[in-house]
Amino acid sequence: MARHGGRGWHGRVLAAAVGVTAMAAATSVWTAQAGPNGGVHAGAGAAAHPSAGATGPGRAPVSVSIAHASDKGPRGVNITIDDGPDPVWTPQVMQVLKDYGVKATFCMVGTQAQAHPDLVKAVVAAGHRLCDHTVSHDTTMDKKANSYQSKEILDAAGMITKASGGVRPMYYRAPGGAFTPYSRHLAASQGMRPLGWNVDSKDFERPGTDAIVATVRSELSNGPTILFHDAGGDRSQTVAALREILPSLKQQGYSFGFPVR
């Protein structure tokens, strides 16, 4: 999983998140890919956020391995949408998904969810799933202390859950794929399956609609989970690419599902 650098808008998100942070001290087979196992140490954040989705009675345990596979099986495809919600682009992405009867997983940045709760609720109402993408989209998460990782993950989960009206994220995607054994175990303990990707559409770079479509088609053999974005700048190419990719995949016999849990 490649890291994404140079995202200027995330600097603004990080600045907005400082107050929040200060407030509380590719595989070729379509299977779930397990990362290295590691221990998890209870941090202050975990104790401070017991309602952020922790496993408990009646709640199935979640694997700590990074999910890639689709619940639709070998011919399944997972559409994942990162970095929103955004008031301009999220509704347009949702409309394309609706037009083709596709459900997706929206990996939301905590401050974006907090700023646009109406969009979070709309995503849930449309039958899509929520994913925790941290508070400030720090792609160096794996270089930071466990206490920092805990706050980024758990604070974002709380923001998204509140914005949604009580629906918790089902997955955790580390910004830029910066997972650690600690962050994977922490997310799983909160009921969020760590979520990777197999195909990076490169839509964030705005290479042109044709280039996005070509990337997805050429890399789909890597696995079923495709990465797109609905925030961080002009996403018109993403919207146009989805309008071409979704019906094309259906015509090829693929079905659209969610990442395995």
How far is Cα 174 from Cα 204, in angstroms, rounded to an integer?
A: 16
CA angle 189, 195, 199 (to 5 degrees): 175
Active site residues: 82, 229
Among 184, 221, 181, which residue's Cα sits nearest to residue 199? 221
Contacts of 66 (CB under 8 A, 6+ apart): 32, 33, 34, 35, 179, 184, 194, 195, 196
How far is Cα 167 from Cα 16, in angstroms, rounded to an integer?
A: 24
How far is Cα 147 from Cα 156, in angstroms, rounded to an integer?
A: 14
